[in-house]
Amino acid sequence: MFDLLSQPVTLTHYLCISAFLFTVGLLCMITKRNAIGVLIGIELVLNSANLNFIAFGSPYFQQSTSGIDGQLIALFVIVLAASEAAVALAITFHFYQKYQTIDVDQGQDLKG
């Protein structure tokens, strides 16, 4: 019988999990109508990109580097995601204060 727990973790495992996270995040961004759901989908997509950066920069999968480059890029993406979340929540709170809803379809008079 094929036992998944006894197999070594390879780059393919990381890529499959990352693809799953990306798909779930994309579906969340497309199907959700409120701003919080869209933000959760964006965070899932960014986390899938971080998982790819960590996997490809790992010294276990790539012997020519120390693995720090992928981790530094992932740290940069985490900082960007945190700042994006702070700005997006501020916009969401202002949107709620003006329209009394967080349904993104209700703000049709927004011009930009």
Percent of the residues in the chain that have a pLDDT greater than 90, as a whole number: 16
CA quadruple 26, 27, 31, 36: dihedral positive or negative? negative
Give the ranges where 32-67 is alpha helix by DSSP (H).
35-57
pTM of the model: 0.71
Q: Where are the domains of the chain?
A: 11-104
Q: So what's the architecture of 11-104 in CATH?
A: Orthogonal Bundle (1.10)
Strand, helix or coil for residue 65: coil
pLDDT of residue 52: 86
pLDDT of residue 88: 83
Q: Which two tokens stand for residue 111?
A: 């011009």
Mean pLDDT of the chain: 81
Per residue in 12-66, pLDDT (tens digit) is 888 999 999 999 999 999 998 887 888 889 889 988 988 888 887 776 666 666 6
